[in-house]
């Protein structure tokens, strides 16, 4: 059990984040209309950002369940990847370099969200290049321990969004702070990141590190924040963006 003794204002500073790293055309891989980082910055995405404008007949809703992912494996791997990149930030440089190499001259990714589907980014190549520079100089942080209880909080919010909802607030109006409380989890601070679209743990972490379209890189800040000692992830299908992965962090 952990104690949630931080005020909501403090929690807001410690870590609110929704990934808006990529906007997908055709398959809806990574988009959000009200993306708030831990500093309260908003990245606005218009409805046209997620329209199907490249060839192909499948909509996000048609394909989001096709693969039948092993959600538990992905969730556990997300926490493991958090610890990996926190302890060795430079280990993700080759991953981001490969990602950069997959971009076209406009900074988009042909085939990045499926056959005949081009993945659009907000900032293009500069965001990835900036993330690589960040990792080169980032000092290691301690690992995060996996908590099944915290994972249950994250899973509940991911499940709540299966029909296409987005954002940190639940369908009942609850904040992540409220959800942690409702599960009896206590800590001195807490935070949340959400990624829409990625289908692997590594892609979830990569998207949060690049943090495309979020000026303050608040999701990246959450990844490397010294405050966090415990984390839990919950993922599931999403009617609009194929997948949703929620990561909750707590500080002891």
Q: Look at residue 26 in the predicted model and tell me its pLDDT.
A: 27
pLDDT at 52: 26
Residues 6+ positions from 236 with CB-CB distance below 8 Å: 71, 155, 158, 159, 161, 162, 243, 244
Is residue 162's pLDDT more than 80?
A: yes
For 15-34, write each residue's pLDDT tens digit: 344 443 333 322 222 322 22
> What does the pLDDT look like over 69-78, one tens digit per residue?
789 999 999 9
Per residue in 168-201, pLDDT (tens digit) is 999 999 999 999 999 999 888 999 999 998 889 9
Lowest-pLDDT choice from 8-22, 26-40, 115-129: 26-40
- Choice between 44 and 222, residue whose per-residue pLDDT is larger: 222
Q: How confident is the model at residue 82 (pLDDT cuts 50, 70, 90)?
A: very high
**pLDDT at position 218:** 93
pLDDT at position 203 over 90: yes
Alpha carbon 106 to chain centroid, angstroms: 23
CA 86 – CA 84 distance, rounded (Å) = 6
Mean pLDDT of all residues belonging to the chain: 78
Q: pTM (2 decimals)?
A: 0.78
């Amino acid at each position: 059990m952990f104690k949630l003794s931080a005020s909501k204002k403090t929690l807001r500073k410690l870590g609110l984040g929704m990934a808006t790293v990529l906007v997908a055309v055709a398959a809806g891989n990574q988009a959000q209309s009200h993306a708030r980082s831990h500093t309260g910055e908003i990245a606005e995405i218009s409805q046209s950002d997620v329209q199907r404008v490249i060839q192909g007949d499948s909509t996000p809703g048609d394909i989001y369940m096709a693969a039948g992912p092993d959600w538990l494996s992905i969730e556990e791997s997300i926490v493991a990847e958090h610890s990996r990149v926190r302890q060795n930030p430079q280990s993700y440089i080759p991953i981001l370099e490969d990602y950069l190499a997959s971009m076209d001259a406009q900074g988009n990714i042909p085939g990045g969200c499926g056959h005949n589907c081009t993945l659009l980014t907000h900032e293009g190549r500069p965001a990835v290049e900036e993330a690589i520079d960040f990792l080169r100089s980032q000092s290691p942080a301690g690992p995060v321990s996996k908590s099944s209880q915290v994972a249950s909080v994250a899973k509940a919010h991911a499940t709540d969004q299966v029909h296409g909802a987005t954002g940190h607030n639940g369908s009942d109006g609850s904040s992540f702070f409220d959800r942690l409380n409702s599960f009896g989890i206590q800590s001195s601070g807490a935070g949340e990141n959400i990624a829409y679209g990625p289908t692997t743990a590594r892609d979830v972490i990569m998207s949060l590190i690049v943090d495309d379209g979020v000026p303050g890189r608040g999701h990246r800040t959450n990844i490397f924040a010294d405050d966090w000692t415990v984390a839990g992830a919950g993922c599931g299908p999403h009617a609009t963006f194929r997948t949703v992965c929620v990561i909750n962090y707590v500080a002891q």
